[in-house]
Structures are given as C-alpha cells and as structure tokens.
Amino acid sequence: MGIGTARWYRPDADLELLGLEDESGSDSEHDPGAERERFERAREQAREDLEGERDRARERIGEEESEILGAHIQFLGDPQIESGISEGIKEGHGAEHAVQRAFEDPISQFEGMDGRMAERADDLRDVRDRLLRVLLNRERTDLGSLPEGTVLLADRLTPSDTVQLDPEQVRGFVTATGGRTSHAAIFARSLAIPAVVGVGDALAEIEAGEEIAVDGEGERIVVSPEAATRERVEGREAVEIRSERAKTADGEEIEIVANVGRPTEVGGALDRGADGIGLYRTEFLFLDRDAPPGEDEQRETYADALDAFPEGRVVVRTLDVGGDKPIPYLDLPEEENPFLGERGIRRSLDPDSQLFETQLRALCRAAGSDKGELCVMVPLVAAIEEFEDARKRFEAVLADLDRKGVEHARPAFGVMIETPAAALMAEELADRADFLSIGTNDLTQYVMAADRGNGRVAGLHDSQYPAVLRAIRHTVEGARGTDAWVGMCGEMAGDPALTELLVGLGLDELSTSAVTIPEVKAEVEEIDRERARDLAERALGASTRAEVSDIVTRSEVQNT
Ligand code: PEP
Ligand code: MG
C-alpha cells in the first residue's frame, strides 16, 4: 500500500494538441528525400534511447523484464511498419504523418486479439509515440523525477513509462486500462511500487492534488482516506523485517510464509523475512510463452526455490488454469461460467494429464533430502475422488522414478480448500492429505456466490462474512486429530487486522504476499492465544459481517 498526492500523466493529450490526430492529409507538400532523412535520424535516436533504457531496466528490474524494451527495439525495424512509413513519405506526407499512419493497422490488429497479444498494441503505441516525440523535438515528461509522495494517475502506462518510475518518489500508480499481467503491472511488482490497474472510466473523476491510498494487494484505491487508513499505511512502512520465526506472546510458533508467482519473487520473499513459501502459483511459469516449460526447466525452478529456504517449507501448487487464468496454447474452451467450469485439478486430471504428470515428475526430482521441505498442493478440489485420483498419479510418478533409478525424493502431498465441498469434506481430505491450505479468494467467491473479479458484487466477496469464517473453522476442525497441518494462502491471510482472528481459529501457517510479511509477523508476536481463541469464538457466533468487523475492531483497540 502507498499513500500520496494524485498527479495526472496525459502523454496522449500532448500529441493530440499538436494536431497529429488530424487525418486530413493536407500536409502532402513535403520533400520525400528530406523527410526520409528526418525519419532515419529519429529512428536512430529512438533506438539509442531505447538501448539505454533497456540497459537501465536490466540493472533495476531484471534481465527478463528488460527484454520487453528489447522487443520495442525490434518494432523500430519491423518491415510492415517500415514499408508503411516509406509509402507515406513517397506520397509526399511529412515523416510525422507517415509514422502515425503506418502504425494504425498493426495497432488495431493487436487490439482485436485476446489477452497478452492485445497488450502488444500498447507496446506499438509506445514505439510510435517515441518516434513522434523525437521528430517533433518534444521532451517526454520526465517520469524519473516526480515530486516525492506522488501517486501517478494515467489512462495507461507503457513499459517505457513504468520503467522510469522511482520508488523513492512514487508512492503508487493507478491506470484506467490494463490487467494484472500487463507490463506496467509486472514492472510495478518488480519495483515494489503499489499499483492498481484497469479501474476503468471512474479514474477520470479523480482530480490532481487529491490524496489517494493505493492498495495493490487488495486491488483498490481510496480517495481522501480516513485517518485510520492513513495510519495503517504509514505504520506498515515502519515495521521491522525479521527473519526469525514469529512466536505468539505465549510461545507458539506460527509459520509466516510467502505467496509467489514468478521465480524472481523468491528473493523478495526471503528479503522480507518469509519462513518459506506457502503458495507458489506455477501458472506464471506457463504464461507468456508458446509452449509449456519442460520437465528439466521446471525441476530447476522448483529446486531454486527450495535452495532459497533450506530450513523452511516450499508449497508448490500444480498448474491452476481455467477461470480467470487463460493460457493461449492450452486451447481452453469458451465457457458460460468459467469459474464453475474446467479449472484447476479438473483440467489436470483430464485433458491436461500429461502436463500434470510432467509437473509432478519435475517436483519429485526437485525434492531432495538436503534441502527445505517440498510440498505439492492441488487446487480447486471439490470431490474426494478427485484428490484420490491426483494422489494415485503422484504415486505412479514416484514408482516410475524409483523403477528408472532417477534421483528424487517424496514431497508432502496436500490439497487446497477453495470450494465449499472441500471445506465440508475437510475431515475426509485431512485423512488422505499431508496438509490443507485454505484459499480464501476462491472459497469466499464460492461460499458467497460472488464473483471475485466483479466489482458490482465486491461487497459480498468478503472473507469476514460469518459463513466464510465457519467454513474455515470447519476445515480446521476436520484436520484436528489427524497429522495434517492447516494453512491459509488466500488474501485474507495477509490482512494484519485479521491475524489474531486467524490464529484463534487454529491455523498453523499463514501465507501472504511478501510485502505484508513483516507486519503479519509483528502481529503474531502480540497475540495471546487464549484471547485469540476467545475472539474467534465470538466472531464465529456473529450473524452478520458488521458484527464480525465490530468484534475484530474492538479486539484491536483493546490490544493497543
Ligand atoms: C485462493 O483462491 O485463495 C488462492 C490463493 O488461489 P488463487 O488466488 O491463485 O486462485
Ligand atoms: Mg484459487
């Protein structure tokens, strides 16, 4: 989270003012030779600038991300665009006009595509505007020197905009367009700048100078936040990072681990004091490429995570696609209700059984006795039969590796509790699994019948409803008396205001995004378990969300 003063960034408006959006073509009086030369010079300068930015990005953000700018360099020499520009210049247009026209078709082709391909349209606009600025001698707004305490608002931010942002100056940014996987969002995560993208037209109502709180984790912004929100955000920044395990005031260790998606996030989790990884969302390894990663590549990625936590646990979730997580090469079907369709384990059992097997093999091979403990977790289980089937395939992989003499070890095998069915059958699942991890993002969506991505029902998608708390309690109770441990890896686990309640409900492990780990650890240290249990009992007895919230807030006030 970050808090600061709103500042608008409107680069498109700059260019519109120059009349470039005008399609009249009335400028056909130019000397083609001179315009060609102007264009070549501009392209050379744009290439030099981009190369410099790419090198800086490599240092600040990472090799992989910097290649987004490498792709921009390639666009500068794209033959289709180049021939469009030559044609325009030959017809007697100025270089600016020719550039603008030549980019039109490629941009609209990408706009018509799905998912990540559509984001390429932004990359092309970025390259086009860069060329135009050089041609027009327009300085770009220097996003690298904004006043300290800025929350940047924009219709969209391109990769080359985002890469300039300095986390020391920028407390957050909010864009009207874009998704969680847009380049701006990816860069924001790497730079640890709180960001909310894709908020829609409502953003235009915010005026420069207003105070804004940006909650990147909760995916929301608060305009003119109240004092309590402000104190929470400012308090967060000051919490000390501890690498030792957190213990409640009465001496019980609670494991505080991290949710990660990309290999580059593992180091960040370690830096924020995580005891291990409680949720490795492996779909990110499968996104943004044309074919799935092979067994060896996956083995290496999982082994790297284990090496980072030799004393801890690393919980890797098997591929969870479908619903809101499309992967182009898997050819996912169009579904009326994707969240109730072929998601998670359903696809892994069939039709993606081959991918599932490869992933299980890579995981068993990555597990080793001299490293941290590897745990494999299957998502979106609704029926005992599904878990048993998954377990059977896991055993078959282990038997095959044994038979072939391939080096491996047996990871723990557990299940996510994300459906009401799984919560209701927790006892039977705990008998069969080594651990349970509650995914409150989906569990809340299914218990409350409120789509987690639909702003119109966001009020109902709230884990503090008593029905959700009771599903959590039922899960914990189900595992009591078995050897299975119970953790939580949904967003709820990362809300420090709820840590006492969750410890009181009996969770052994909380997994949250790396940024909130120090705060959650600090909360654990303050907890008296007897009081936490009492708080949980009262919350479980509540009839409404308002009552739960009241009980939690009163307990917070008493504790301070
Ligand atoms: C969840 O559903 O709570 C969860 C952690 O998984 P994801 O958010 O990846 O669906
Ligand atoms: Mg989920």
For residue 441, give the ligand nearest its CA: 1
Burial class (CB in 10 A: 0-12, 13-18, 19+), 370: exposed
Give the number of the atom of ligand 1 that is nearest the alpha carbon of residue 281: 9
Give the number of the atom of ligand 1 that is nearest the alpha carbon of residue 279: 5
Distance 316 CA to ligand 2 centre (A): 13
Whether residue 394 is found in the same domain as residue 456: yes
Q: Which pLDDT score, from 0 to 100, does residue 324 have? A: 61
In a domain, 15, yes or no: no
Spatial separation of the C-alpha atoms in residues 184 and 213, rounded to whole Å? 19
CA distances from 345 to 18, 301, 359, 491 (A): 54, 21, 13, 21
8 A C-beta contact, residue 406 and residue 373: no
Give the number of the atom of ligand 1 that is nearest the alpha carbon of residue 445: 2
Whether residue 439 is found in the same domain as residue 425: yes
Atom 7 of ligand 1: nearest residue by CA position: 441
Which among 54, 518, 507 is positioned nearest to 275, based on CA atoms?
A: 518
Give the number of the atom of ligand 1 that is nearest the alpha carbon of residue 438: 3
Distance 343 CA to ligand 2 centre (A): 10
8 A C-beta contact, residue 503 and residue 532: yes
Which residue of 418, 507, 513 sits with most ligand 1 atoms within 8 Å of its CB, as the best mutation to test the pocket?
Answer: 418
Which among 163, 165, 189, 197 is positioned nearest to 69, based on CA atoms?
A: 163
- C-alpha torsion sign, points 421, 424, 429, 430: positive
For residue 281, give the ligand nearest its CA: 1
Whether residue 93 is found in the same domain as residue 216: no
Whether residue 404 is found in the same domain as residue 477: yes
Q: Which pLDDT score, from 0 to 100, does residue 360 have? A: 98
Distance 437 CA to ligand 1 centre (A): 10
Distance 453 CA to ligand 1 centre (A): 12
Sheet of 150-154, strand order? 195-196, 170-175, 150-154, 2-9, 211-215, 220-223
Distance 379 CA to ligand 2 centre (A): 7
Which residue of 315, 320, 441, 462 sits with most ligand 1 atoms within 8 Å of its CB, as the best mutation to test the pocket?
Answer: 441
Whether residue 116 is found in the same domain as residue 182: no
Distance 285 CA to ligand 2 centre (A): 16
Beta-carbon neighbour count of residue 55 at 10 Å?
A: 12
- C-alpha torsion sign, points 45, 49, 55, 61: negative
Domain that holds residue 122: 21-135
- The enclosing domain of 297 has a CATH number of 3.20.20.60
In a domain, 555, yes or no: no
CA angle 111, 114, 116 (to 5 degrees): 90
Whether residue 232 is found in the same domain as residue 327: no
Whether residue 52 is found in the same domain as residue 157: no
Which residue of 282, 440, 442 sits with most ligand 1 atoms within 8 Å of its CB, as the best mutation to test the pocket?
Answer: 442
- C-alpha torsion sign, points 116, 10, 70, 112: positive
Whether residue 90 is found in the same domain as residue 184: no
Alpha helices in 172-282 (DSSP H): 183-191, 227-238, 265-271
Distance 241 CA to ligand 2 centre (A): 28
**Could you read off the pLDDT of 452-482 as tens digits, one per residue?**
877 778 889 999 999 999 999 999 999 999 9
Strand partners, 281: 317
For residue 512, give the ligand nearest its CA: 1
| Positions of the chain with pLDDT lower than 50, given as ranges | 21-25
In a domain, 112, yes or no: yes
In a domain, 541, yes or no: no
Which among 319, 415, 423, 419 is positioned nearest to 362, based on CA atoms?
A: 319
Give the number of the atom of ligand 1 that is nearest the alpha carbon of residue 323: 10
Which residue of 180, 281, 283, 321 sits with most ligand 1 atoms within 8 Å of its CB, as the best mutation to test the pocket?
Answer: 281
For residue 283, give the ligand nearest its CA: 1
Q: How many CA atoms lie within 13 A of 548 on its CB side?
A: 22
Concerning whether 489 is annotated as a catalytic residue, the answer is: yes
Atom 3 of ligand 1: nearest residue by CA position: 439
In a domain, 538, yes or no: no
Q: Which of 72, 93, 183, 461 is catalytic?
A: 183
Q: Which pLDDT score, from 0 to 100, does residue 375 have? A: 98
Q: How many domains does the chain have?
A: 3
Which of 135, 166, 192 is at the close of a domain? Answer: 135
Distance 184 CA to ligand 2 centre (A): 23
Concerning whether 183 is annotated as a catalytic residue, the answer is: yes
Give the number of the atom of ligand 1 that is nearest the alpha carbon of residue 489: 5
Spatial separation of the C-alpha atoms in residues 358 and 299, rounded to whole Å? 10
Distance 418 CA to ligand 2 centre (A): 6
pTM: 0.67
Whether residue 201 is found in the same domain as residue 268: no
In a domain, 338, yes or no: yes
- The enclosing domain of 96 has a CATH number of 1.10.274.10
Whether residue 290 is found in the same domain as residue 427: yes
- The enclosing domain of 156 has a CATH number of 3.50.30.10
Give the number of the atom of ligand 1 that is nearest the alpha carbon of residue 283: 9
Burial class (CB in 10 A: 0-12, 13-18, 19+), 36: middle
**Could you read off the pLDDT of 344-395 as tens digits, one per residue?**
999 999 999 999 999 999 999 999 756 789 999 999 999 999 999 999 999 9
Atom 8 of ligand 1: nearest residue by CA position: 441
Spatial separation of the C-alpha atoms in residues 154 and 177, rounded to whole Å? 9
Which of 213, 236, 259 is at the close of a domain? Answer: 236
Which residues does a 6 A CB cutoff place in the pocket of ligand 1?
279, 281, 320, 418, 439-442, 489-490
SS3 281: strand
In a domain, 554, yes or no: no
In a domain, 12, yes or no: no
Which of 89, 110, 135 is at the close of a domain? Answer: 135
Atom 9 of ligand 1: nearest residue by CA position: 281
Whether residue 221 is found in the same domain as residue 247: no
Whether residue 438 is found in the same domain as residue 505: yes
For residue 488, give the ligand nearest its CA: 1
Q: Which of 30, 408, 461, 489 is catalytic?
A: 489
Atom 1 of ligand 1: nearest residue by CA position: 439
